[in-house]
Amino acid sequence: MGLLDGKTALITGVANRWSIATGIARAFHAHGARVAYIYQGERVRDEVEKLAAELGGGKAYPCDVSSDKALAELAKNIKNDYESLDVLVHSIAFVKKEDLGGKVFATSRDGFALALDISAYSLIGLTNALVNVLNDGASIMALTYLGATAIVPNYNVAGISKAALEAIVRYLAFDLGERGIRVNAISAGPISTASSRQVAGFKGMLDKVGASAPLHRNVTPEDVGNTAVYLASDLSSAVTADVHFVDAGYHAMGMFTEMPKA
């Protein structure tokens, strides 16, 4: 018996087999969930469909989350193919490369608007489109990062977008609580993905976090997937409106000094 037997999940943000969303998809499949996917652009279509076939043969839908028309079409397709959803995973973010790094006050107006639209508002757009497809007692979760609440050099408007995303999580949790729908965020530690490697100095960040975290290691997509299974399952039935850190404890560090050798 799996923790997610009988549940249907929609996962966004699967781009390749190394992405955090893929780690979540693998964990959901291992625990018995039916998993569907959305992707944007033909560039990743083959990879997403291949992963979907490996993980139970779930549907993969094209969807531009910046388009209300596309979101409405997604909801229609989910209703036709699956009837309803028990889990929604938001793992979508986009920032223009020129707005990562440099000075945050140099962020372009259109770059700021685009980052907030894709990285934060898309959770509102998806929820609004799928609210009548989600079952009572469903679980919604979004992927965030420490840069939402602390300064991470070169993360810039991506961190501002994550701060907005975390606020959206709390307000959605309040609005959907009357239906027993839980809304949470997972704040994953740095993981080497195609997206994270766009942040200048990422390799050094990965090394520092692994050395400084209480567990003395970095985390993996599988670690994040395990927490996502908990949040998707009935084990978290009274857990909502919170940010759950999966970063080997790094977020709790106020200062790191080299420990004396024994």
> pLDDT by residue (tens digit) across 130-153?
999 999 999 999 999 999 999 999
User: Is pLDDT larger for residue 22 or for residue 255?
Assistant: 22
- Name all domains of the chain by residue range, CATH numbers in brackets: 8-246 (3.40.50.720)
Q: What is the DSSP string of 55-80?
A: TT---EEE--TT-HHHHHHHHHHHHH
Average pLDDT, the chain: 94
pLDDT band at 124 (very low <50, low <70, confident <90, very high): very high
Q: What order of strands is seen across the sheet that includes strand 243-246?
A: 60-62, 34-39, 8-12, 85-90, 134-144, 182-188, 243-246
Instruction: Quickly tell me which residue has 């501002």 as its tokens.
Output: 160
Give the 3-state secondary structure of 187-241. Answer: EECCCCCCCHHHCCCHHHHHHHHHHHCCCCCCCCHHHHHHHHHHHHCHHHCCCCC
Q: Is 145 a catalytic residue?
A: yes
Instruction: Quickly tell me which residue has 């685009």 as its tokens.
Output: 114
Q: Which residues contact 118 (CB under 8 A, 6 or more apart)?
A: 65, 66, 92, 93, 94
Give the model's pLDDT for residue 15: 87
| Confidence (pTM) | 0.95
pLDDT band at 106 (very low <50, low <70, confident <90, very high): very high
Catalytic residue among 145, 171, 230, 250: 145
Q: Is 121 a catalytic residue?
A: no
Catalytic residue among 39, 61, 155, 230: 155
> pLDDT by residue (tens digit) across 205-246?
888 999 999 999 999 999 999 999 999 999 999 999 999 999
With CA atoms as reference, report the closest residue to 92 among 40, 50, 154, 42.
40
Residue type present at position 82: Y
Q: Which residues contact 65 (CB under 8 A, 6 or more apart)?
A: 12, 38, 40, 71, 92, 118, 122, 125, 126
Give the model's pLDDT for residue 13: 94
Residue 259 has pLDDT above 70, yes or no: no
Give the model's pLDDT for residue 190: 93
